[in-house]
Amino acid sequence: MKTAVFFITVLLNALSTGFFFAWSVSVILGTKKIGHVMYLETMQNINREILNPVFFIVFFGSLISLVISTYLQFNNKTVFVLVLASTIIYLFGTFGVTAFGNVPLNNELEALNITNLNLMELKGFRTYYESAWNHFHSIRTISSMVSFILLLISIFIQKTF
């Protein structure tokens, strides 16, 4: 059971990390090349569509399985510390930044009536939103990567000792 839970933890964390990394090296780069209205409309649509069961399973499942795996690793102090650190980093750096950084920005964008804005307002909101959103996204991507690396190290330590 312990091995299966840890495998699921690593898998979900890998999927979460991969998602955030892929977004960084594709979606962000692509959206930088489109106009203000198209950018804001695109992000509104993406923010609506991301709220789906598969994303929720990966995003929330990573955190839940990390917490469970931390508890299950209590017998091996070194692995326990690595998995605990992975959990804390994911909790605050990935989950927390998303919940308290990206999501409020997404909600602000959702409430925006793009068609009522003039060009200066569109540009101003896009600059504000895109800059803040990408900043938070960078933090959660790096945090997710560090969390995943700690899990990989813990696997190596378990197999070595």
Residue 12: predicted pLDDT:
98
pLDDT digit string (tens) for 73-107? 878 899 999 999 999 999 999 999 999 999 999 99
SS3 assignment, position 5: helix
List CB contacts of 127: < 8 A, sequence separation 6 or more. none
pLDDT digit string (tens) for 24-58? 999 999 999 999 999 999 999 999 999 999 999 99
Taking the model in full, what pTM does it have?
0.92
DSSP per-residue letters across 8-59: HHHHHHHHHHHHHHHIIIIIHHHHTTS-HHHHHHHHHHHHHHT-SHHHHHHH
